Structure 1
Amino acid sequence: MASSLDDLFHESNFHNVSSLTTIYGATAINGCNVDKLMVAMLKGKIVLFEYKKVDQSLVKIDKEVSFTYIPADAHVISIDCFTCGARGLIIAVAFFKETNGKLTNYLNIYCNYTYDASDEKDSCQLETVAENCRSFELEFVPFQLTHCKSRARKDCEALLQTVFIVLGGDSRIHVYAQDENQGEFSEQNLDKYFPEFKDLPGVPMFVDIKITNNEKMRISAVGHATGDISLFITDLSTEEWKLTTYHIQHDSPITSVRLFTKYTEVKIPEFMKRKFSTQDLPNHDPNIYHLLVTSAWENAVVYCFCADQGFEIPVLLENSSEHDCVTCCQIADIDRDGVNDIIIGTYGQELLVYKFNEPSSETYDPYEPVTLIPYWTRTFSYPIVNIMLQDLTGDGLSELIVISTKGLHILQCNSASAIKECKAKLLNLKRLKIK
C-alpha cells in the first residue's frame, strides 16, 4: 500500500463551470463502457463530463445537454439517474423558476420509451433520453433527489423495482414509480413503498437507504433541517413489514447521512473456496452497518453498529468541524486495502479522510470497538460541495472527483502504485496450488 494519499492520487484535470451547483447537483451515468458525470447548475444548465479516446490519447470533454421543458431561467436544485433494463437510462431533474414574482417547483423525469434493450449503445443515447419528458408541478420545494430499489407493501414475493425519492420542504418524502403496464412515472402512496417515512419530525434534507440480509431488511436514515436524525430498520420478510425506529437530535442542520459497512463487498473466488476451508477465509458480516452523519456546525459522527445499537455507540471524527460547515461526505476504499474510508468535504475548502484503526487482534470480531483516525487532508482553492468516485477514464481505477463552487477537480489514481499492488497480488496467487 502507498504510504500516503499523495502517493495514491494526483490532480490530473480541472473542469471549470460557469455557475454554482448544489450538494444535490451531480449524478453518475454508469453502464456505458466508461462512467460519465452530469452536473446541474443553479442557472439551469446541465453539463456532461466525460473522457474519450482520440488518437491514443484521452481527451476531456464537457458539453451542455439540452433537456426539454427546462426553461433557460430555471434554477436546478437536484439531479439523479439510474439504468433500467426495460427502459435504459432514466433521469430525473428537480428545479424551480420564477414567473411574475412567484416561484414554481417542478420535477421532470426523462425516459426513452422507444428504448431497444438489444442495442447496447441505445442505453447511452443521452440526447434521445433528454427529449422524452414527463413533467410534474410540485406543491413543495424539492431538496435531495435519489433512487432506491423497493417493492410494494404486502407483496413480499414481488421483484424489487427502482423508484425515485424526492425530499420535500413540506416535511414529507415523495415517491415516484413506473406504472406496471405503460412504464410511465407517477407519484405513489408513500405508505405503499416506505411506510417508515410517514411521520417525519421536520424537513428532510438527506436520506440514505440500504437493502440487506438477502433483501429481507431495509435500513433507512434521514437527516433533517432541525438536526433530527431518524433511523428505521424495516423487516421486509413478512407482509406487515415490522418496523424498528431510532431517533436522536443534533444541534445543527444535518447536511448528509451515509450508511456503510466497514469492509468492501468483494465476492470470494470459487477457487479459493475450494482450496481453503471456510474458517481460513475472511468472514466479514455484510449486514453490519454504521451510520455517518455530518451537520452544519458540529463534528461529523459515526454511529457504530446502527442496525443493532441505534445511536448508542457514537464515534466523533476529530477536527471535522474546524473548517467551516461540513457540506458532503462519501464512503470508499480509496487505498484499496479492503476497508472503507470516510471522506468529508467542507465549505472551508478542506478534504478530510478518516480511516478505521487496525484491529487489536488477528481474530475477526465483528463487534470490536471502532476507532477512526485522521488519515489525510488536502486543501482546495474553493469550497467543496460534493465528492464522488467514478471510473471516468475507463482504466478500471476510480477517480476521486471533488466538486467545488468553481468546478470539478479530477484526482486520478497513481498508476505506478496500482501496478505495483497488482503485481504483488498476482504473485501471491501464483504461489497458491489450485486444485
Structure 2
Amino acid sequence: MKEETVSCTQNMSKVEHSSKNRLNFIDAHFFSLPSQGNVYTLTPLTDAKGFTKILVASLQRKVYCLEYSNGRPCIREVPFTYIPGGAEIISIDAVNRSVIQEDFIIGITIIKKDDGTGQQSHFFNVYSDWDLNSDSALDVVSQNCHPLELDFVPYHLYHTKTKIKNGWETVWLLSGSDNCIHLYHSDDESHSYQEMDCSESFPEFTNMTDVTLWMDISYSSDNKRRVSATCGEGGSVHMYCVNVESIPQVTASHTVSWDYPAASVKIFDLNVGLPVPKYLQGIHRFPKEQIKDAESPAHIIVGNTLESCFIYR
C-alpha cells in the first residue's frame, strides 16, 4: 500500500510540473459516526433549489445531515422522533415529492429488542409534512412520524413512482426476510401510509424466491416502459422489462444465478455523464462528445460479495 501511495504521489507531481493548470485539491470532508452504519443507511435528498443533502444514519439511532451552508460544508444531527432507546436503524430513504417546494418524505426502518422477553419488533417509520412557516422543512418532517409495525425483518428501502387513476404517485418498496417486496402508499383520506398488494402495480416482484438485498427501477423518458432489477441473498439476479402504458405487464425477463450473494444492482445508461472539471481540461485530452440517442438502452451493473462487479449490456 505504501508503494502504491508513493507512486501515485510521484505521478501527480509529474503531471503538476508538466502543466500550467496544477491540480489543487482544496478540501476533503469527512466525519465520524458514534456507531457503524450499513449499506442501507445513506441516502441523498434534493431540495426544490436543486441542492442535494446527504442523510447518514448510524445503527444506534442517530441520523446526520451533510449539506452546504453559505458555501461551506455543514454536518448536523437531525432529531427523528419515534426511534426508541435500544433500537437499531436498518435502512433509510428519502425523496422530495415536489419540484417547486420542499415536500420531503423520509422512511426509516428500525429493529427494537424488548428488554424483558428479548424478542425483536420491527417498524417502518414514515416522516412527512410541509410547513411554509418553517425555517427548515427537514426539521419539521423529522417530528411528524407515522409508524407501521412489520411482521418481518426489513432490508432494502426504496422509493419509486407508479401510475394510479389520478396520475403518478410516489410509493415505497421494502424487501423483507419473508422473501417478499412490500409496497406502501399514502392514503389521503386517512392521512396515513398503508400497505397494498404489489402484484397489480409491480407484477415483476410477485414471485421472489429469496431475500432481496437490493432493487432498482428505471423508467423510459415517455414513462411507457420500465426496467426493473433485483439481486438476492441466494445469488439470483433478476432483470425485467415491463410495459406500463395501461396495466403493468412483464414483456421480458432474465435471471442469472451465482453461488454467493449479490449485494447490489444498479441500472444505468450511457447518456449519464459529468462535465470535465476545469482543473483537468488543460491536463488531459478528452474525446469530443458524440451525439447521443434520445433513448439509449439500459445497462445493469451487479456488485457481488466475493467477486468483481459484472455489467450486463
1:138 corresponds to which of 136, 143, 150? 150
Q: For 1:111 and 1:249, locate their aligned partners in 2 and report how far apart those are by CA, in whole Å.
A: 39
Q: Find the residue that maps to 2:31 and give its secondary structure.
A: strand
- Please tell me the residue identity of whatever aligns with 1:94: T
Q: For 2:97 and 2:134, locate their aligned partners in 1 and report how far apart those are by CA, in whole Å.
A: 12
Gaps of 5+ in 1: 267-280, 305-435
> Aligned pair 1:31/2:39, yes or no?
no
Is the CA contact (8 Å cut-off) linking 1:251 and 1:298 kept in structure 2? no
Q: For 1:87 and 1:179, locate their aligned partners in 2 and report how far apart those are by CA, in whole Å.
A: 20
> Aligned pair 1:43/2:47, yes or no?
no
- 1:244 match: 252
Is the CA contact (8 Å cut-off) linking 1:176 and 1:185 kept in structure 2? yes
* CA distance 1:8–1:302, change in 2 (3 Å): farther
Structure 1 residues 298-313: aligned runs within 5 Å:
298-304=307-313
> Aligned pair 1:79/2:96, yes or no?
no
Higher relative contact order (CA 8 A, sep 6+): 1
Q: What's the RMSD between the two structures over aligned residues?
A: 2.7
2:83 corresponds to which of 50, 70, 74? 70
Q: Find the residue that maps to 1:16 and give its secondary structure.
A: coil
- 2:218 match: 210
Q: For 2:248 and 2:87, locate their aligned partners in 1 and report how far apart those are by CA, in whole Å.
A: 42
Q: For 2:48 and 2:248, locate their aligned partners in 1 and report how far apart those are by CA, in whole Å.
A: 39
- 2:140 match: 128
Q: Find the residue that maps to 1:12 and give its secondary structure.
A: coil
Is the CA contact (8 Å cut-off) linking 2:203 and 2:248 kept in structure 1? no
Q: For 2:94 and 2:291, locate their aligned partners in 1 and report how far apart those are by CA, in whole Å.
A: 34
* CA distance 1:123–1:30, change in 2 (3 Å): farther
- 1:91 match: 106
Q: For 1:63 and 1:133, locate their aligned partners in 2 and report how far apart those are by CA, in whole Å.
A: 20
Is the CA contact (8 Å cut-off) linking 1:166 and 1:173 kept in structure 2? yes
- 1:189 match: 197
Q: For 1:15 and 1:9, locate their aligned partners in 2 and report how far apart those are by CA, in whole Å.
A: 18
Q: For 2:24 and 2:220, locate their aligned partners in 1 and report how far apart those are by CA, in whole Å.
A: 31
* CA distance 1:211–1:19, change in 2 (3 Å): same
1:73-126 alpha-carbon deviations (Å, 9 max, x no partner)? 1100110111123981111000101103111111000111xx35xx4x759422
Q: CA deviation at 1:191?
A: 1.2
* CA distance 1:7–1:297, change in 2 (3 Å): farther
* CA distance 1:244–1:251, change in 2 (3 Å): same
Q: For 1:206 and 1:123, locate their aligned partners in 2 and report how far apart those are by CA, in whole Å.
A: 35
* CA distance 1:8–1:259, change in 2 (3 Å): farther
Is the CA contact (8 Å cut-off) linking 1:256 and 1:293 kept in structure 2? yes
- 1:253 match: 261
Tell me the TM-score normalized by structure 2: 0.80
Is the CA contact (8 Å cut-off) linking 1:29 and 1:81 kept in structure 2? yes
Q: CA deviation at 1:231?
A: 0.7
1:279-304 alpha-carbon deviations (Å, 9 max, x no partner)? xx814242411000011111211001
1:286 corresponds to which of 269, 285, 295? 295
Q: For 1:259 and 1:8, locate their aligned partners in 2 and report how far apart those are by CA, in whole Å.
A: 33
Is the CA contact (8 Å cut-off) linking 2:61 and 2:89 kept in structure 1? yes
- 2:281 match: none
- Please tell me the residue identity of whatever aligns with 2:236: D
- 2:120 match: 103
Q: CA deviation at 1:241?
A: 2.3
Q: For 1:294 and 1:10, locate their aligned partners in 2 and report how far apart those are by CA, in whole Å.
A: 31
Q: Find the residue that maps to 2:249 and give its secondary structure.
A: coil
1:22-78 alpha-carbon deviations (Å, 9 max, x no partner)? 10101122115432211111111111222322xxxx443322221111012110011
Q: CA deviation at 1:12?
A: 1.7
1:299-329 alpha-carbon deviations (Å, 9 max, x no partner)? 211001xxxxxxxxxxxxxxxxxxxxxxxxx
Structure 1 residues 162-241: aligned runs within 5 Å:
162-239=170-247, 241=249
Q: CA deviation at 1:177?
A: 0.7
Is the CA contact (8 Å cut-off) linking 2:271 and 2:296 kept in structure 1? no
Q: For 2:205 and 2:199, locate their aligned partners in 1 and report how far apart those are by CA, in whole Å.
A: 8
Is the CA contact (8 Å cut-off) linking 1:47 and 1:63 kept in structure 2? yes
- 1:400 match: none
Q: For 2:161 and 2:118, locate their aligned partners in 1 and report how far apart those are by CA, in whole Å.
A: 38
